[in-house]
Structures are given as C-alpha cells and as structure tokens.
Amino acid sequence: MELSDLTIFRTVVREGGITRAADKLGRVQSNVTKRIQQLEDRLETALFDRRGRRLVLTSSGKTLLDYADRLLALAAEAEEALHGARLQGVLRLGAMESTAAVRLPAPLASFSAAYPDVVLEMRTGNPTQMARALLAGEIDAAFVAEPVATARFDSLVAFVEEAVIVTAQDHSFFEKDEDVPRTVLVFENGCPHRKRLEDWYAARQQMPERTVELGSYHAMLGCVLAGMGAALVPRSVISTFPEKQRLRITTLPPQQGRIQTLMIWPKGAVSPKVKALAQVVCGDGQVPA
C-alpha cells in the first residue's frame, strides 16, 4: 500500500465522491476509480458502499481512514524532520471565537517571532466544528473547551477560564433564586458556554423563554447592556469590553465556573509545527513526546 493510494482514498472521502476528488487531485475520473478499486482488491475488502452516485464508507473504510490520517501525518512529519530543524510551511489552526480573540494573540505572536518561516492560518467555530475539521484534515490543531473525545484526539491544557453570567448593571435579576433573566444570549448549538448556561437554568428547574443566537462576544455584551437578557462568557472576554463597568457579573460555583481550554490534534499524529506551538502555548512541561 502506497502513500499515494491513501492520499487518493482520503481525498475521495473528503470531497464526497470520485468526480470532485479527481478535480482536486488533477487526475481523470477513471484513474481515481481504478486506484480505489486496486486498493480494495489489495486489501480484499470494500472501502465504500456504492449507493447510486453516492459513496458511503464501510466499516473497513472508516478503519482505513483513521490509519490514513495518521500515516499521512507521519509522512509529512518525516519530510519536515529531514528538512532540518528550521520549521516552515503552513500551520492551520482552529479555535473558539473567545480564545482566538483574547487568549491566542500573544502566544501566536511569540510563535511567529520564533518561527518566522511558518505561516499561521486561523479559523473559528465551536468545538464540534473544530473536531470535524481536524478529523477531515482541514486544520492541524485546535483550541476548544472541554470535554474532548479522548479516543480521537491527543490534548494538552492550554488555558483555564472562569465562566460568569453577565447582565446589565441596572437590572434587578437574581434578587431571588427564581428571579432569573427570561432571555439568554448565546452562540449557536455546539458552544460549550451555551450548554453550561442551559445546564445552570435546568438546575433551577427553569427554562429561558427566549434564546437569541449571536456571532460574537462583543455583540453579545452589547445586547446585555441594552437589557435584552443574560449571557455566559469567559471573564477574560469582559476585560476587553470598553463598557465593562456597566455589566453585572454573577459568578458560578467553582465546579461549574471553571473551564479548561485544550489544545487538541488527531491522536498519534503530532507534527513538529504542532509540537513547537504546544511548547509556546502550554509550556515545556506539557510538550508531547
């Protein structure tokens, strides 16, 4: 089995079919089809279930995809190692919006100063989106709030956050246990902070009457100031908000308010660039072997 076979196989999976994979690889469709068939013959198992024009991974295909990701990552790591100690190329990262805006600028600046030949790329999203992007090979590492699927990823603790509930200073919420905001301001489903706020309401046997989804923390805090409702945010985000003195902060019990942000990457596939970033962000004591 050759690395080129695995590259073709993984591209077919990522692109969702032969035609788009052929375009991506710069090959004719018949060549891609033949290489997949030859790979299946060599392994003596079907990798795809053909459903009309759709290709759906079989259980064997899913197993091979996991190995393909790791083997191709190791091959890339070997190439980097042979090019010498000087890291170069692109490092593709993912992070939650709050982490990218508040926590990462300083360590990423330090990383860029130490490794000027590495080009950093960043995309933001919730932990579910970041996990999917990692497994699809679209990014190399991500910063997400726990919990993390330990069976699929290796991880290190990057930051520890305190989550707090914020409301407008001139609103009399929380005068009594049952006096909670009827509207919550949150990110889309998949955001761990949203889940934590929903759990906080559920523990009081209450549910918000209205849920407003927003795309950034500063938009969320602006709506809080307008008296629209409550939001749960990392305390570090509040420090960057110009009108933070007009916010009312309600702390959570320690076990609910403490959130770890983890740096994650596909299990067993740490590259030299990811390892170098882990050293900068997480410290020498946590760097993966």
How would you write the pLDDT of the chain (289 residues) with one tens digit per residue? Answer: 788 888 998 898 888 888 888 888 888 989 988 999 999 898 999 998 887 777 888 999 889 988 888 888 788 777 766 655 578 889 999 998 888 888 899 999 999 999 998 999 999 988 888 998 988 888 999 999 887 877 789 989 998 888 888 888 876 555 555 567 788 888 888 788 888 888 888 887 888 888 898 888 888 888 888 888 888 888 888 888 888 888 888 888 877 788 889 999 988 878 889 989 999 988 755 555 5
Task: Give the per-residue pLDDT at 123.
Answer: 93
Per DSSP, the residues of the chain read --HHHHHHHHHHHHHTSHHHHHHHHT--HHHHHHHHHHHHHHHTS--EEEETTEEEE-HHHHHHHHHHHHHHHHHHHHHHHHT-SS--EEEEEEE-HHIIIIISHHHHHHHHHH-TTEEEEEEE--HHHHHHHHHTTS-SEEEEESP--TTTEEEEEEEEEEEEEEEETT--TTSSTT---SEEEE-STT-HHHHHHHHHHHHTT---SEEEE-S-HHHHHHHHHTTS-BEEEEHHHHTT-TTGGGEEEEE--HHHHEEEEEEEEETT---HHHHHHHHHHH-GGG---
Task: Give the per-residue pLDDT at 217.
Answer: 83
Task: Give the per-residue pLDDT at 94.
Answer: 95
Task: Give the per-residue pLDDT at 176.
Answer: 54
Angle, to 10 degrees, between the axis of helix 3-15 and the axis of helix 59-82? 120
Task: Give the per-residue pLDDT at 285.
Answer: 55
